[in-house]
A and B are shown apart, each in its own frame.
Chain A
Amino acid sequence: MDLKDKLISSFMAFENNVDVEHPVHDVRMAAIKNFEEKGFPSKKEEAWKYTSLNNIQKIDFSIFPKEDNALEYKDVKRYFIHEIDTYKIVFVDGIYSSYLSETTHDGVDICLMSAALTKPMYKQVIDVYFNKIASKDESLTSLNTAFSREGAYIYIPQNKMPKKPIEILHFSTGNEASLLLQPRNLIVVEENAEVQIIERHQSLTTNEVLTNAVTEIFAAKSAIVDFYKIQNDAPTASLIDNTYIDQKDKSHVKVHTFSFGGKLTRNNLNFYQNGEFIDSTMKGVTILGEKQHVDHHTLVHHIEPNCESHQDYKGIYGDSSTGVFNGKIIVDKIAQKTNAFQQNNNILISDKASINTKPQLEIFADDVKCSHGCTIGQLDEDALFYLQSRGIPQKEARALLMYAFANNVLSSVRIPELKTRINKLIAKKLGVNLGFDL
């Protein structure tokens, strides 16, 4: 039985475990119908031209994991930003781990999707926001919607800011030979509120894991959201991340994506600017080796006038890795005075690595400033020579240049401990120890 059929038949088993009377279940039913119609995307579709899901579909994934997967904090400590105090929402094999987590209801709600979807006190928020910005058309998002039950739920009321950043961690223990996870997150940031979120998916063994995540973020008027995605998973873990962001007047949302690992990573990052004077920023650093594949798909839809968007993606590709960048900017007819910038720079350091990029502009308004730049090249030989002539070994000199290349993206990370952590990850990925922090 192929994966699609298995998923569709599992939906009935899934229905036994959720409240089918709840209005959310109608949403799930519509979503499974859409998935049944469309199935997994194939390479024939323009959006999936460079990423094939054929191999993934051949794996016999467990859809409902066993429930007794305890982890000791000391074993997974290194995956947390343990240098600072944070709120933590931790899932082990898709199941909430109250032991590892630290949630709160003190002024803000930092808790679970399963609670939000069942308890009456959250009904109002769920009615207004759940599945409102996520695509009802895209098949993998629909698949997640159909099985949506667990994930992070974050609600920041007007003028509030949580005392510390929030970490969302998904561990997979490898108790199943191959596991499919479908976390569903909802983040609502009301007027004038602010939040910082760090998200990470981590597989603890070399068993196959596929995560098909959907995150909906709503940033109300003047809200500020900082979202950091760390993707440094095991070489057998695949991730399809679908993030949808709805922004209102004067809100600022920044999403940083750091892709250093995993077998196949696909990031669908969609910004919808439903207001004026909005600022949307998406930045990414991708450093790949082996046979890794990362596909960044961004969309910024400028719907109202006077907004800005900034994109900056840097990629370094070694070994037989493949990278894809597809950035789409749509400027509607009424979205005059839009400023949209997009930058994508890539370095190929191996003969077998390849990069496919497609920066795409669709512009219907005339009074706009839109630009994109895209380069593919190598490290500057002269700069390398300069460093070497001053006694820096070649390997370190190369690493230093790559740091410099990625630095633009790192400079806007607002949590210093996180920045240090990312720097360490980069150093490790490049196999050097520079002996200082950048």
Chain B
Amino acid sequence: MAYTEEELKKELETKEYEYGFYTDIESETFPNGLNEEIVIAISKKKGEPEWMTLWRLEAFKYWKEMEEPEWANVHYQKPDFQAISYYSAPKKADPNKTLDDVDPELLEMYKKLGISVDEQKKLQNVAVDIVMDSVSVATTFKKTLAEKGIIFCSISEAIKEHPELVKKYIGSVVPKRDNFYAALNSAVFSDGSFCYIPKGVRCPMELSTYFRINQAGTGQFERTLVIADEDSYVSYLEGCTAPSRDENQLHAAVVELVALDGAEIKYSTVQNWFPGNKEGKGGVFNFVTKRALCEKNAKVSWTQVETGSAVTWKYPSCILKGDNSIGEFYSIAVTNNYQQADTGTKMVHIGKNTKSTIISKGISAGKSQNSYRGLVQVNSRADGARNFSQCDSLLMGNECGAHTFPYIEAKNKSAMIEHEATTSKIGEDQIFYCNQRGIDTEKAIALIVNGFSKEVLNKLPMEFAVEAQKLLEISLEGSVG
């Protein structure tokens, strides 16, 4: 018997954030606040060389002079940067441990989330570098990768063991003073992933990192650096879930991708941090800077599924520096209840015959606000640049909003740029058609949303596509308008 919308609404309102639980692990946490001593202490704690400490201090100096950006179409209580603890590490963690030595409590947590490290290791051929509250806990498949010359480790390890690579590339795509959050991240980043694919190597497996925020009141500042040397290929996955928390948690990550001549990087994200409860209380602030540099004939493809976070501020970008380089951006952003998302991409065409594709799907429900903000810039020397952008928004219910702010700047006469955007809602006739064929309203919505976002879901690696589809369903439940 099909249940009514009222019943459905009631059921969904009481539905708690599925992944909202909290694992009690003894953590070593720094006192709240941020000053030069804290920056030095973080650096010392991680046993970093002097050049890194100086690098952090310089970033901190820039950060102090900067102001928090206000141009995004989001409204929130600004975080008090002095009320945050900038370092927290699970005490028992030891980077040299094997998987068997990992704290059983941690493993239990992953099991709850449906991610069995063992299982993935065996069945899905995925190497997992787990970041839990900032310190890398376990790294698998390192050996297999090492045989190919691939370096896949935590960034702190890379700083110690491959300083020449880190020194050369860190901050080369996202400079320290790029923006407020990037500067903050550069000063206090706790950990993150580092990946280097040597010349001509095709990485045999999908590299994956799972980020979690676990400790109350700790911001998480990851730093990811992926370098694909000439003619190499790598597919990198990043997925996130976070425990339910009452106070707002800050997340300011920086991701830098370097694709050298002929290299290809595929970077996929599924983001499902705690979005706040249905009154809009709590939830993660997600202020991320992601950028890729494409050299000659290189290709970078960003795919993201954004369902979580109370406030999202995120613009994965491609600097198409080399001739014939290609940038792609596929995104689904879903907002429900009081979530706010301001997300999009920047495609900067510098080299000749550069191409970019932008497909953005925004779905807003409840009382949420969803914005697409993008920039396509064709510089005067970028002959033959080509861009295609498509931004579609789907509105569910009459209290949400969908906004588009596409900036298009062309300075070359041979540029071909197309942009189109539509906004609409799910038609009553579409729902009726499904109902008529015995598909209840909730399933019908899931079906239609899936169809709407198919173009993007198709770009995700298999393992992720399934998870992402499930996430879409969970995020949109209760938004039947």
Structural contact, A333 and B405, CB atoms closer than 8 A: no
A374 interface residue per 8 A CB criterion:
yes
Size band of the A side of the interface? 35 or more
Q: How far is the CA of A336 from the CA of B425 in the complex (A)?
A: 11
Question: Is B398 in contact with A356, judged by CB distance below 8 angstroms?
Answer: no
Q: Let me know if A351 and B404 touch, CB within 8 A.
A: no
With contact pairs A350-B413, A370-B422 given, residues A361 and B402 touching in the complex (Cβ less than 8 Å): yes
B414 touches A358 (CB 8 A): no
Cβ of A3 within 8 Å of any chain B Cβ, yes or no, is no
Give the complex CA separation of A81 and B417 in angstroms: 38
Chain A interface SS verdict (over half):
strand
B420 touches A371 (CB 8 A): yes
User: Does A126 sit at the interface, judged by CB under 8 A?
Assistant: no
> By DSSP majority rule, is chain B's interface helix, strand, loop, or mixed?
strand
- Other-chain residue from B378, B407, B409, B424 in contact with A369 (beta carbon distance below 8 A): B424
Checking B380, B399, B415, B423 against A361 with a beta-carbon cut-off of 8 angstroms, the contacting residue is: B423
**Bound-state Cα–Cα, A367 to B325, Å:** 40
Measured in the bound complex, the distance between the Cα atoms of B423 and A353 in whole Å is: 32
Q: Verify A354–B419 contact, CB threshold 8 A.
A: no
A361-B402, A376-B415 known; A368-B409 Cβ under 8 A: no
CB distance from A381 to the nearest CB of B (A): 11
Contacting residues, chain B, for A351 (C-beta < 8 A) = 380, 412-413
**How far apart are the CA atoms of A355 and B403 in the complex, in Å?**
22
Cross-chain pair count, CB within 8 angstroms: 115
| Nearest Cβ on chain B to A368's Cβ, whole angstroms | 6
Bound complex: CA of A353 vs CA of B410, how far in Å?
9
- Measured between beta carbons, the chain A residues less than 8 angstroms from B378 are 376
Query: Is B286 an interface position by the 8 A CB rule?
Result: no
For B413, give its contact among A349, A358, A361, A371 (CB under 8 Å).
A349
Q: Inside 8 A of B419's CB, which chain A residues have their CB? A: 359, 372-375
Chain B nearest CB, measured from A365 CB (Å):
6
B: number of interface residues (CB 8 Å): 36
Contact between B421 and A361, CB atoms less than 8 A apart = yes
For B66, list chain A residues within 8 Å (CB): none
**A348 proximal to B (CB < 8 A):** yes
Q: For B410, give its contact among A355, A358, A368, A373 (CB under 8 Å).
A: A355
Interface string of A339-351 (1 = CB under 8 A from B): 0000000101111
Q: Which of B397, B403, B414 contacts A366 (CB 8 A)?
A: B397
**Counting CB contacts under 8 A, is B71 at the interface?**
yes
Q: In the complex, what's the smallest C-beta–C-beta distance from A342 to chain B, in angstroms? A: 9
Could you tell me the distance in whole angstroms from the C-beta of B479 to the nearest C-beta in chain A? Answer: 11
Q: Does B25 contact A (CB under 8 A)?
A: no
A46 within 8 A of B: yes
Task: List B residues 381-417 near A (Cβ within 8 Å).
Answer: 393, 395-417
Q: Hey, which chain A residues are within 8 Å of B406, CB to CB?
A: 358-360, 374
| A215 → chain B closest CB, angstroms | 28
Check B399 against A333 for contact (C-beta < 8 Å).
yes
State how many angstroms separate the Cβ of B373 from the closest Cβ of chain A. Answer: 10
Report if A26 contacts B (CB, 8 A).
no
CA distance A370 to B408 in the complex (A): 19
The proximity string for B residues 330-357 relative to A, scoring 1 for CB distances below 8 Å and 0 otherwise, is 0000000000000000000000000000
> Which A-chain residue is minimally distant from B422 (CB atoms)?
A371
Q: Which residues of A contact B393 (CB under 8 A)?
A: 361, 363
Q: Is the CB of B424 within 8 A of A368?
A: yes
B408-A356 in contact (CB<8A) = yes
Show 11 residue pairs from A and B whose CB-CB distance is below 8 angstroms, ordered by the A residue.
Answer: A351-B412, A357-B409, A358-B406, A360-B404, A361-B404, A366-B396, A366-B398, A374-B406, A375-B416, A376-B378, A377-B418
- Which residues in B have some Cβ–Cβ distance to A below 8 Å? 71, 378, 380, 393, 395-425, 481
Other than the given A359-B421, A363-B395, 5 more pairs (CB < 8 A) read A348-B413, A363-B403, A372-B421, A375-B417, A378-B416
